[in-house]
Amino acid sequence: MKQFDVVIAGGAMAGMTLALAINKRAPQPLSIAVVEPFNADNLAHPGFDSRSIALSYGTVSILKQLGLWADIAPVATPINQIHVSDRSHAGMVDISSQEVGLESLGYVVELADVGRIYQKCVTQDENIQLFCPASVVEIEREQALATVVLDNGETLSTKLLVAADGAVSTCCQKVGLELSEHDFDQVAVIANVTTEQAHKGRAFERFTASGPVALLPMSEGRMSLVWCLKPQDAQAMMALDEQAFLSELQTMFGWRLGKLEKVGQRASYPLLLRYRQQNISHRFAIVGNAAQTLHPIAGQGFNLGIRDVASLAEEIARHSEDPGAYSVLSKFKQRRQADRHATISLTSSLVHIFSNDYLSLRIGRNLGLAMMDNIPPLKAPLLARTLGLVTR
Ligand SMILES: Cc1cc2nc3c(=O)[nH]c(=O)nc-3n(C[C@H](O)[C@H](O)[C@H](O)COP(=O)(O)OP(=O)(O)OC[C@H]3O[C@@H](n4cnc5c(N)ncnc54)[C@H](O)[C@@H]3O)c2cc1C
């Protein structure tokens, strides 16, 4: 049996960041194992797929503290302005990096790029051992240790097992942590889009009767589309040919970037809120999507997940002699409570307010957007969370 201080199930954004974060923060070297079924360059990797995500200013600050940003920066596109609007109505909000006095509001990265970078960092680090391809299939816990059985028959023992194995989380199921689910009855259609006019670092979020449309600036002048639709509408959009798809999107998004010229391969994701109230158990902690999976409306998923990761890594560093001790886990749980609740509530409220076309909501949100644009104190709390400037 191989022994480790920490075993992390799941080597995607949360799991890989955690392995590197513990390694960076711990005052003395800890032995870390990451178990992941897919190699980072495997196109079927569920965590490092064709998606692009926006990293908030706060997330980039954490990545800088962990010494990871220098590797990611060359493949990241800065967001200089965010434009929020409501289709066919006047209300809109503009947020610019100049207005808030920051170099940029955040950055957009392609998950496949980050996957390759992370895999290289992890494999070059002698304190981290990557078990790949492999997955956790059984867990047993005793007073001082957890034992993990992999699907290839190997057995690992550890002082702390961390579940970073995504929304469904086999590990949480094995340990018996309850899952709350809410189906938003929406599907996100994603694709890369080429536009006639240069994006100049602008990100757009547009609320339409059928659901929110976001376009994020990417490298090579491309934009990353996230279009949330009713499941039947998403199915219809996925089936359209390129020109018909672009024409539907143009109608919803408008002409702020001129003609939408090309669209790459489309992919779709059913949207559910998944949440585990308990984010710890005996010799066990949860981070990232395994703890909470959010609607992408406000681009908060990994930006919240990395705050789980950073807080857990800090608590482990404070008690590195026993990273799975109850004192470490209870402090981690306590530190994460308020932020998790606030971000989940904010995201779910936005979905409700902006995905419905009731007249009262429409008037309310237009007034809200217009007021927010004109009254800075109203903009501030939403802005702080969007930028990831949150107390942990
Ligand atoms: C359309 C869309 C747009 C988004 N946009 C944004 C955005 O702009 N900003 C943002 O911050 N977030 C965004 N998100 C959310 C973000 O992508 C996720 O929060 C993040 O990628 C989750 O990472 P994770 O590592 O927690 O989980 P996952 O990516 O789900 O990774 C889990 C990993 O665990 C592995 N695994 C599964 N079972 C086992 C097992 N038994 N043993 C070992 N390993 C296992 C899987 O192979 C996988 O690699 C978006 C999400 C979607 C769907």
pLDDT tens for each residue of 180-199: 999 989 999 999 999 999 99
* Residue 50 located in a structural domain: yes
* In-domain check, residue 8: yes
Domain boundary among 255, 271, 287: 271
pLDDT level of residue 211 (50, 70, 90 thresholds): confident
- Residue 305 beta carbon below 6 angstroms from any ligand 1 atom: yes
- Domain ranges, residue 212: 79-99+185-271
Same domain, yes or no, for 267 and 277?
no
pLDDT band at residue 94 using 50, 70 and 90 as cut-offs: confident
When divided into structural domains, the chain yields a total of: 2
Q: Sign of torsion, CA 319 325 326 328? A: positive
Residue 54 lies in a domain: yes
Q: Check residue 259 and give its pLDDT.
A: 97
222 and 343, same domain (yes or no):
no
pLDDT-based confidence at 357, cuts 50/70/90?
low
Question: Atom of ligand 1 at shortest distance to CA of 15?
Answer: 25
Say if ligand 1 is within 6 A of residue 39 CB: no
299 lines ligand 1 (CB under 6 A): yes
Residue 375: inside a domain: no
SS (H, E, C) the chain: CEEEEEEEECCCHHHHHHHHHHHHHCCCCCCEEEECCCCCCCCCCCCCCCCEEEEEHHHHHHHHHCCCHHHHHHHCEEECEEEEEECCCCCEEEEEHHHHCCCCCEEEEEHHHHHHHHHHHHHHCCCEEEECCCCEEEEEECCCCEEEEECCCCEEEEEEEEECCCCCCHHHHHHCCCCEEEEEEEEEEEEEEEECCCCCCEEEEEEECCEEEEEEECHHHEEEEEEEECHHHHHHHHHCCHHHHHHHHHHHHCCECECEEEECCCEEEEEEEEECCCCEECCEEECHHHCEECCHHHCCHHHHHHHHHHHHHHHHHHCCCCCCCHHHHHHHHHHHHHHHHHHHHHHHHHHHHHCCCCHHHHHHHHHHHHHHHHCHHHHHHHHHHHCCCCCC
Of 234, 249, 271, which residue sits at a domain end? 271
Residues 266 and 277 occupy one common structural domain? no
pLDDT exceeds 70 at position 354 = no
Q: Is the CB of 54 under 6 A from ligand 1?
A: yes
Nearest CA to ligand 1 atom 15: 301
Q: What is the pLDDT of residue 362?
A: 59
Ligand 1 atom at shortest distance from the alpha carbon of 9: 43
Q: Which of 62-66, 325-329, 386-390 has the lowest mean pLDDT?
A: 386-390
Confidence of residue 332 (pLDDT cuts 50, 70, 90): very high
Query: So what's the pLDDT on residue 361?
Result: 57
Burial environment of residue 50 by CB neighbours within 10 A (0 to 12, 13 to 18, 19 or more): middle
Task: Give yes or no: residues 115 and 246 share one domain.
Answer: no
Q: Which two tokens stand for residue 126?
A: 């002698």
CATH of the domain at 29: 3.50.50.60
Specify the pLDDT at position 391. Answer: 80
